[in-house]
């Protein structure tokens, strides 16, 4: 009976995955293709789908099947699968369907309106919707916290990074804040003595797209299982069998679209390489958003900004955008490692990026824990931007607190994943370099297989078989060690 019960649970979660498949493609279309007048109907449809998934997860019959399956003689793999099934099931049963529906509707409306409000620098218009997002996110956090014993913010953080605590984040980020400002200053001083040639000209979108597609192919993207499109905010969506990535283009600056594509291709390769035999089950999904971001940042930061990789793609840049001195390999490397504190997180250099993340973590935590209100965000944002990066954002909402899409639809608790991901990525590459001391030489001639093979063996194929800490220990021989991140930055920017 217990084995039969487990198979019945699998069948239910397979059905849920198919619902989620439709929802993910509808969400991609909403961001990339949907005409604006379709948003209200799309939001209602996605809310209805969310309620359907929630009802399926909270059906008492499923609870009985899970309990029966636990009594069975399950294999190690099945035990891991049931562990992840229970994690998702328990979370769903702590929240009412009415809240799921309300959050989906409010988030859909807020994120849709944000697309226009941001470009118009309309904080007051955005605030009207954002207050409701915050109210519902707090309601969700309180319900989860009451049952889990976590703080309200931690209860949201654990949706994206299971097992992570605020105490651990505070320890990690306090360490980063102790040495990052000095490292930024040293790097800028060093770079001030170096000659940098700026790229000149207008770069047509179709040429940037052609360059991006060729770089994606070099990075192993499967075009029969995914595609590249445009959205206001770059993202990777869809499902492992049909991965959708987006970027955004500026004709006066090719740099952001190309590296954005490299970043999203890292996400995509993870999704495309997850084990197909368990793709419909929670155990077959990405381990956490920190691990997911470690893949995009392995591609963007560890590989993409590596001088050897930039030398490899220099001919491609010239082929698509024209031959000019700025596109010589050595100059490209300087362009993509230039340290300059600025407004926009997704365009930030590798050194200042953690400051952007820490700032958002501190604000969203205070917001959910009730220490501040939505109205207080701009002033606190500007204060922290001044303190951490010396950048003035007063009155500049579109390049300040309105720049990211995450808060618009209630993805609060996600931001720490970016810097955790950068730390995991540095630790992976420290391990890969021990195995392949000639890694840079191999990258320079286009041999990226040592990287892809290691990631596939140790991360992609493992999906959620292991808890995060165990996954990282098995892959690298130790739990998360931020010292690898600092060493990487010092070697790249001060050596």
Write the pLDDT tens digit of every residue in 24-38.
999 999 999 999 999
Q: What is the mean pLDDT of residues 454-475?
A: 98
Separation between Cα atoms, residue 10 and residue 224, nearest integer Å: 27
CB environment 65-81: b (16+ within 10 A), e (fewer): bbebbbebebeeebebb
- Check whether 293 is labelled as a binding-site residue: yes
- Nearest to 464, CA basis, from 69, 122, 87: 87
Separation between Cα atoms, residue 241 and residue 29, nearest integer Å: 16
Separation between Cα atoms, residue 180 and residue 489, nearest integer Å: 10
Residue 170 to residues 167, 179, 194, 297: CA-CA distances in angstroms?
5, 15, 36, 22
Placement of tokens 């309105």 in the chain: 402
- Nearest to 358, CA basis, from 97, 155, 93, 166: 166
pLDDT band of residue 232 (cuts 50, 70, 90) is: confident
Per the document, the length of the chain is 495
pLDDT given at position 204: 97
The alpha carbon of residue 322 and the mean position of all alpha carbons in its chain are separated, in whole angstroms, by: 32
Q: What is the mean pLDDT of residues 396-414?
A: 96
Q: For the purposes of burial, counting CB atoms within 10 Å of the CB of 97, is it exposed (0-12), middle (13-18) or buried (19 or more)?
A: middle
pLDDT given at position 145: 96
Q: What is the mean pLDDT of residues 156-168?
A: 96
What does pLDDT average to over the chain? 96
The two three-digit tokens of residue 416, written as one number: 């720490």
Separation between Cα atoms, residue 197 and residue 256, nearest integer Å: 17
Residues 6 or more apart whose CB falls under 8 angstroms from that of 140 comprise 95, 99, 103, 155, 156, 410
pLDDT in tens, 123-140: 999 999 999 999 999 999
pLDDT band of residue 384 (cuts 50, 70, 90) is: very high
Give the sheet arrangement for strand 226-230, strand by strand: 226-230, 242-247, 236-239
Question: Residue 245 phi/psi, 5° resolution?
Answer: -120, 155
pLDDT given at position 76: 95
- Check whether 267 is labelled as a binding-site residue: yes
Helix axes 468-476, 289-297, angle to 10 degrees: 40
pLDDT in tens, 337-352: 999 999 999 889 999 9
Q: β-pairing, 242-247 with 236-239?
A: antiparallel
Q: What is the mean pLDDT of residues 54-75?
A: 95
pLDDT in tens, 171-224: 999 999 999 999 999 999 999 999 999 999 999 999 999 999 999 999 999 999
Question: Residue 295 phi/psi, 5° resolution?
Answer: -75, -45
Residue 439 to residues 107, 263, 334, 447, 455: CA-CA distances in angstroms?
44, 20, 20, 9, 14
Q: What is the mean pLDDT of residues 399-409?
A: 96
For residue 2, pLDDT over 70 is answered with no
CB environment 447-461: b (16+ within 10 A), e (fewer): ebebbeebbbebbbe
58 conformational bin, left if phi > 0, alpha if psi -120 to 50, beta if neither: alpha
Placement of tokens 């808890």 in the chain: 467
pLDDT given at position 161: 96
pLDDT in tens, 346-378: 889 999 999 999 999 999 999 999 999 999 999
CB 49 within 8 A of CB 22: yes
Placement of tokens 């286009």 in the chain: 446
For residue 63, pLDDT over 60 is answered with yes
pLDDT band of residue 233 (cuts 50, 70, 90) is: confident
For residue 99, pLDDT over 80 is answered with yes
Residue 236: beta bridge partners? 245
Active-site residues, by number, are 264
pLDDT given at position 3: 73
- Check whether 233 is labelled as a binding-site residue: no
Residues 6 or more apart whose CB falls under 8 angstroms from that of 160 comprise 288, 289, 290, 413, 414, 416, 417
Q: What is the mean pLDDT of residues 139-150?
A: 95
SS (H, E, C) the chain: CHHHHHHHHHHHHHHHHHHHHHHHHHHHHHHHCCCHHHHHHHHHHHHHHHHHHHHHHHCHHHHHHHHHHHCCCCCHHHHHHHHHHHHHHHHHCCCCHHHHHHHHHHHHHHHHHHHHHHHCCCHHHHHHHHHHHHHHHHHHHHHHHHHHCCCHHHHHHHHHCCCCCHHHHHHHHHHHHHHHHHHHHHHHHHHCCCCCCCCCCCCCHHHHHHHHHHHHHHCCCCHHHEEEEECCCCCEEEECCEEEEEECCECCECHHHHHHHHHHHHHHHHHHHCCHHHCCCHHHCCCCHHHHHHHHHHHHHHHHCCHHHHHHHHHHHHHHHCCCHHHCHHHHHHHHCCCCCCCCCCCCCCCCHHHHHHHHHHHHHHHHCCCCCHHHHHHHHHHHHHHHHCCCCCCCCCCCCCCCCHHHHCCCCCCHHHHHHHHHHHHHHHHHHHHCCCHHHHHHCCCCHHHHHHHHHHCHHHCCCCCHHHHHHHHHCCCCCCHHHHHHHHHHHHC
pLDDT band of residue 72 (cuts 50, 70, 90) is: confident
pLDDT band of residue 1 (cuts 50, 70, 90) is: low
pLDDT band of residue 93 (cuts 50, 70, 90) is: very high
CB 278 within 8 A of CB 9: no
């Amino acid at each position: 009976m217990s084995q039969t019960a487990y198979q019945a649970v699998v069948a239910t979660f397979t059905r849920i995955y198919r619902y989620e498949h439709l929802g993910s493609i509808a969400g991609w279309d909403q961001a990339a293709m949907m005409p604006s007048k379709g948003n209200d109907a799309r939001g209602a449809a996605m809310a209805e789908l969310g309620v359907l998934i929630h009802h399926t997860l909270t059906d008492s019959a499923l609870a009985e099947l899970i309990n029966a399956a636990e009594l069975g003689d399950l294999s190690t793999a099945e035990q891991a699968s049931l562990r992840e099934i229970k994690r998702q099931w328990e979370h769903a049963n702590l929240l009412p369907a009415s809240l799921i529906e309300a959050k989906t509707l409010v988030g859909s409306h807020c994120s849709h309106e944000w697309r226009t409000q941001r470009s118009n620098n309309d904080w007051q218009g955005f605030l009207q919707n954002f207050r409701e997002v915050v109210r519902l996110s707090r309601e969700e956090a309180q319900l989860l916290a009451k049952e889990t014993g976590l703080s309200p913010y931690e209860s949201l953080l654990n949706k994206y990074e299971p097992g992570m605590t605020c105490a651990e984040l505070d320890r990690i980020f306090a360490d980063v804040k102790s040495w990052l400002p000095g490292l930024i200053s040293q790097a800028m001083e060093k770079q001030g003595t170096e000659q940098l040639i700026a790229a000149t000209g207008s770069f047509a979108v179709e040429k940037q797209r052609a360059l991006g597609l060729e770089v994606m192919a070099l990075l192993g993207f499967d075009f029969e299982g995914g595609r590249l499109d445009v959205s206001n905010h770059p993202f990777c969506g869809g499902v492992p069998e049909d991965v959708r990535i987006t970027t955004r283009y500026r004709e006066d600056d090719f740099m952001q679209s190309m590296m954005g594509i490299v970043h999203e291709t890292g996400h995509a390769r993870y999704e495309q390489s997850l084990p197909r035999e368990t793709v419909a089950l929670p155990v077959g999904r990405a381990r956490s958003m920190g691990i997911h971001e470690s893949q995009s940042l392995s591609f963007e930061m560890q590989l993409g900004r590596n001088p050897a990789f930039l030398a490899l793609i220099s001919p491609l840049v010239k082929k698509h955008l024209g031959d000019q001195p700025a596109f010589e390999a050595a100059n490209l490397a300087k362009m993509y490692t230039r340290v300059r504190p600025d407004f926009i997180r997704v365009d930030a250099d590798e050194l200042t990026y953690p400051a952007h993340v820490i700032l958002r973590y501190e604000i969203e935590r205070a917001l959910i824990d009730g220490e501040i209100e939505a109205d207080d965000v701009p002033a606190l944002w500007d204060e922290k931007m001044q303190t951490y990066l010396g950048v003035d954002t007063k009155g500049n909402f579109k390049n300040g607190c309105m720049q990211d899409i995450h808060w618009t639809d209630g993805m609060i608790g996600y931001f720490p994943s970016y810097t955790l991901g950068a730390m995991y990525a540095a630790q992976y590459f420290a391990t890969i370099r021990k195995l392949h001391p000639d890694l840079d030489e191999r990258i320079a001639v286009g041999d990226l297989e040592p990287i892809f093979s290691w990631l596939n063996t140790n991360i992609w194929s493992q999906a959620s078989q292991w808890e995060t800490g165990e996954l990282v220990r098995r892959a690298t021989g130790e739990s998360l060690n931020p010292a690898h991140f600092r060493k990487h930055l010092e070697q790249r920017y001060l050596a």
